[in-house]
Amino acid sequence: MHDLVVLYEHPEWQKPLFEALDARGVDYVAYDLKQAVFGGADLPPARVVFNQASPSAYTRGNTRAVPLCLALLEALEFDQARVINGAPAFRFELSKAAQARALDRMGVPSPKTLAFNDVDALRARADEIGFPAILKPNQGGSGARMFKVESVDEVETLLGDAATEDLWAPDHVMLLQEYLPHDSERRGVVRMEFVGGELLYAMKVFSGGGFNLCPSEVCNPVDGVEGACALPEPGGAPTFEPFPEVPAEAVAVGRAICAAAKLDVAGIEYLETDDGRRMFYDINANSNLRRPIGLALGFDPFERVVDYLQSEISAAA
């Protein structure tokens, strides 16, 4: 019985965490979801299981890692294992439609959203969103396969074009979402990182006009050189700045989202529109921390995650 198992699919994203665990002497096992097998008689592999799988696995050719991860999480929780970011959290992350509905029911300001699997069905209700709008996959991650569209005809062209017909993958559900005009260069968006349901840090992200805002240094290096992301931004990499003055009201909303969605570790993003609205638009359970942001605020964020994991291990012992 190990103390910890980390479920992962992207080895480069996990290196800083593994290094911090090694330095602390934590007894852990790294479980690669790309090539995995488990049976109904298997015991929980550790006192604590930390799910770090990402919905964006399909963009790297690792589509099968996601459904196996969900099946494993459900099996472990049936055995009453302590799972961080377990099956309910992972199912929530896998559906942007579920996220949009939850935010609406919570009364959290967020973009209007329609989920659809047929363009003709969408055509009958697209005026509820209006144009321009954002077209995105229900199972997202890393800004994958997102487009700003000007009409339903453009949506139909994108989804029917041979060059982009795989936009329906992996779950064959797409979203049409309200476009939120905002100053991406001067105001940016705000990403708040939560660990154990409490704010770890907040940062501002300036997109450069793209959709991939992944904070991992692997994808977007500090020195601005080209990263190793499977989805590089043609318009240039985003930049990141510490945001210690994040409003308490925004933190409270983020904390409430974590509690409602059973997110132990999460990255929650909002933006301020040109007309002054604070709109929450993205929720991430696999939270890639950015070490330079934490260091600028006086701590190593991966050390804080290890602190949290060790506290969970002690509670489960």
Q: What is the reported pLDDT for 163?
A: 57
- In tens digits, the chain (317 residues) has pLDDT values of 899 999 999 989 999 999 999 999 999 999 999 999 999 999 888 999 999 999 999 988 999 999 999 999 999 999 999 999 999 999 999 999 999 999 999 999 999 999 999 999 999 999 999 999 999 999 977 677 899 999 999 999 999 875 565 888 889 999 999 999 998 777 889 999 999 999 999 999 998 666 667 888 887 777 555 545 555 555 567 899 999 999 999 999 999 999 999 999 999 999 999 999 999 999 998 888 999 999 999 999 999 999 999 999 999 98
**What is the pTM assigned to this prediction?**
0.92
278-284 and 198-206 as β-strands: parallel, antiparallel, unpaired? Answer: unpaired
Structure tokens at 95: 């559906």
Domains in the chain, start-ordered, CATH in brackets? 2-93 (3.40.50.20), 112-178 (3.30.1490.20), 189-310 (3.30.470.20)
Please check whether residue 44 is in contact with residue 89, taking contact to mean a CB–CB distance below 8 angstroms: no
Contact 280, 268 (CB under 8 A): yes
pLDDT on residue 310:
98
Residue 6, both tokens: 């980390």
Alpha carbons 280 and 103: distance in angstroms, whole number: 8
What is the rounded distance in angstroms from the CA atom of residue 2 to the CA atom of residue 61?
A: 30
Cα 176 to Cα 132, 173, 283: the distances in Å are 10, 10, 17
The encoded tokens of residue 149 equal 């569209």
Q: Tell me the C-alpha to C-alpha distance, in Å, between residue 139 and each of 171, 198, 297.
A: 7, 26, 33
